Amino acid sequence: MESSIVVPEFVDAQVGPRGSLEHLSQAEISKLLDSSRGGLYDLFRKCALAVLNSGAATDNAKEIFDRYSSFSIKVVRHAWGIRLEIRNAPAQAFVDGEMIRGIKEHLFAVLRDVVFISNEIVESGRFDLTDSADITNAVFHVLRNARLLDYKGRPNLVVCWGGHSIGHAEYKYTKKVGYELGLRGMDVCTGCGPGAMKGPMKGATIGHSKQRIPFGRYIGITEPGIIAAEPPNPIVNHLVIMPDIEKRLEAFVRMAHGIVVFPGGVGTAEEILYLLGILLDPANHEQPLPVVLTGPSESASYFEHLTRFISGTLGDAALKRFTVIIDDAAAVARHLKQGMEAVREYRKQQSDSYNFNWLLAVPEDFQHPFEVTHESMRALQLHRDQPLHQLAANLRRAFSGIVTGNVKEYGIQAIEKYGPYELSGDPALMRLLDELLTAFVAQLRMKLPGSTYRPCYRLVA
């Protein structure tokens, strides 16, 4: 008679840091254990649970938090430093009772960033987070503290955006592009989740291996509101948690030497509008930055809908800031490699950093957090009677709100309580928006495959 092995769903463990953050002050520990106002426990617990839940086939934050409602994490002080005492953690984060090393690194990256942002960015008084220059300074300090700016070499970092819920053919194509990037010595930075955020990293590891590049960078940049829906994939070897979506997006564009956009949904559209809004600002007219929108032949209609929307809302000036390449991974990599030479020459002539683009002008409209509520969504100015970069900023906020209603815990709860968000504006612009969103729903780009999508928005004439 064969014996059956029962695999536990929950695991208790104690884990220690690897090479960083061995010590915390008493005040920092107290704040991490405090769930009251000003405490960090709830934020730390949610981000830690998301990291430990990496690989789960769901993008519903509420579902994750409900399933692991008994999960707890506690900082314990020892004579030799600190350890994390974990109760009722997802078993998939462990092998034979030991936490997977990569997940342990991600867990302590969360601890590092949560503590640093609270103490050094928010409460230190060093940064006025209503001031544009100070916001950029804060982004720089978070990245520097995470050691993401230590790279010494020619510009080679490609930021890859795209959906966490994409089809098999699209996922395979993202790996092909990542492979071609890796063969040419380029590193990859993504939003760190699954799908189009994982594929380029996976491909790049093979390209780097073939070229005997031993220390490829696979950078993941996320933020607390979305980490549960897009937990870090296991290839990420440099993880950073930014305070909010706006600072996350600014970190992307200031670190990037080139940008690739794969098929996605509203989150990807939000990123594209953010990028185009910045590049359309007259202050950035001379800034070189290669941008490629790409996918397999099966994704051609996705890019047709997207370019039609961009053309109809932001015009030809926006179309000139990117190149569309369909089903040719090597051409994508060659285009980026060539474009990076222009980036290098420009930064060199302007005496700007290769690792952090200080000269890029990021307007305040793109820096201040957009608080998504039913009232703020109704109040968005979605009309053409404004400068293009401001229209892009408002469209970006609209898509950000839909992302919130789709995958963020507080957004899902608000939709359940008050119904869908309402958006209104110019009739012609709203028709373009309706067409794009309808295409996203039809192409199953709003949720993970197998999920039933209930729109979190309503367009009002």
Model pLDDT for residues 314-341, shown as the tens digit of each residue: 999 999 999 999 999 999 999 999 999 9
* pLDDT value of position 447: 67
User: What is the Cα–Cα distance from 146 to 108, expressed in whole angstroms?
Assistant: 11
Q: What is the mean pLDDT of residues 78-100?
A: 85
Q: What is the mean pLDDT of residues 158-174?
A: 93
Q: Which of 329, 293, 328, 297 is nearest to 311 (CA)?
A: 293
Q: Which CATH class, in words, describes the domain spanning 10-114?
A: alpha beta
Domain definitions of the chain by residue range? 10-114, 153-364, 370-460
* Whether pLDDT at 278 is above 60: yes
* Whether pLDDT at 85 is above 70: yes
Structure tokens at 381: 């100015």
Whole-prediction pTM value? Answer: 0.88
Structure tokens at 355: 């690792």
* pLDDT value of position 224: 87
User: What is the Cα–Cα distance from 144 to 127, expressed in whole angstroms?
Assistant: 15
Distance of CA 191 to the CA centre of its chain: 3
* Whether pLDDT at 167 is above 90: no
* Whether pLDDT at 400 is above 80: yes
Please give the single-letter amino acid code of residue 232.
Answer: P
Lowest mean pLDDT among 259-268, 317-326, 445-454: 445-454
- More confident call, 57 vs 63: 63
Pairing type for strands 72-78 and 10-15 reads unpaired
Residue-wise pLDDT tens digits, 117-152: 998 999 888 999 999 999 999 999 999 999 999 999
Q: What is the mean pLDDT of residues 19-43?
A: 72
Residues above pLDDT 90, as percent of the chain: 59
* pLDDT value of position 303: 93
* Whether pLDDT at 231 is above 70: yes
Residue 305 dihedral angles phi and psi, to the nearest 5°: -60, -45
Q: Which of 145, 129, 155 is nearest to 369 (CA)?
A: 129
Query: Model confidence at 61, in pLDDT bands (50, 70, 90)?
Result: low
Top-ranked range on mean pLDDT: pick from 59-63, 96-100, 322-326: 322-326
Identify whether the C-beta of residue 329 lies closer than 8 Å to the C-beta of residue 323. no
* pLDDT value of position 78: 73
Query: Model confidence at 1, in pLDDT bands (50, 70, 90)?
Result: very low
* pLDDT value of position 136: 97
- More confident call, 175 vs 74: 175
HEC readout, the chain: CCCCCCCCCEEEEEECCCCCCCCCCHHHHHHHHCCCCCCCHHHHHHHHHHHHCCCCCCCCHHHHHHHCCCCEEEEEEECCEEEEEEEEEEHHHEECCEECHHHHHHHHHHHHHHHHHHHHHHCCCCCCCCCHHHHHHHHHHHHHHCCCCCCCCCCCEEEEECCCCCCHHHHHHHHHHHHHHHHCCCEEEECCCCHHHCHHHHHHHHHHHHCCCCCCCEEEEECCCCCCCCCCCCCCCEEEECCCHHHHHHHHHHHCCEEEECCCCHHHHHHHHHHHHHHCCHHHCCCCCCEEEEECHHHHHHHHHHHHHHHHHHCHHHHCCCEEEECCHHHHHHHHHHHHHHHHHHHHHHCCCCCCCCCCCCCHHHCCCCCCCHHHHHCCCECCCCCHHHHHHHHHHHHHHHHHHHHCHHHHHHHHHHCCEEEEECHHHHHHHHHHHHHHHHCCCCCCCCCCCCCCEEEEC
Phi-psi region of 437 (alpha: psi -120 to 50; beta: other; left: phi over 0): alpha
Please provide the average confidence, as pLDDT, over all residues in the chain: 89
Residues above pLDDT 70, as percent of the chain: 92
* Whether pLDDT at 4 is above 60: no
* pLDDT value of position 36: 66
Q: What is the mean pLDDT of residues 35-64?
A: 77
CATH of domain 153-364: 3.40.50.450
Residue-wise pLDDT tens digits, 346-381: 999 999 999 999 999 998 889 998 999 999 999 999
* Whether pLDDT at 80 is above 70: no
Q: What is the mean pLDDT of residues 168-186?
A: 97
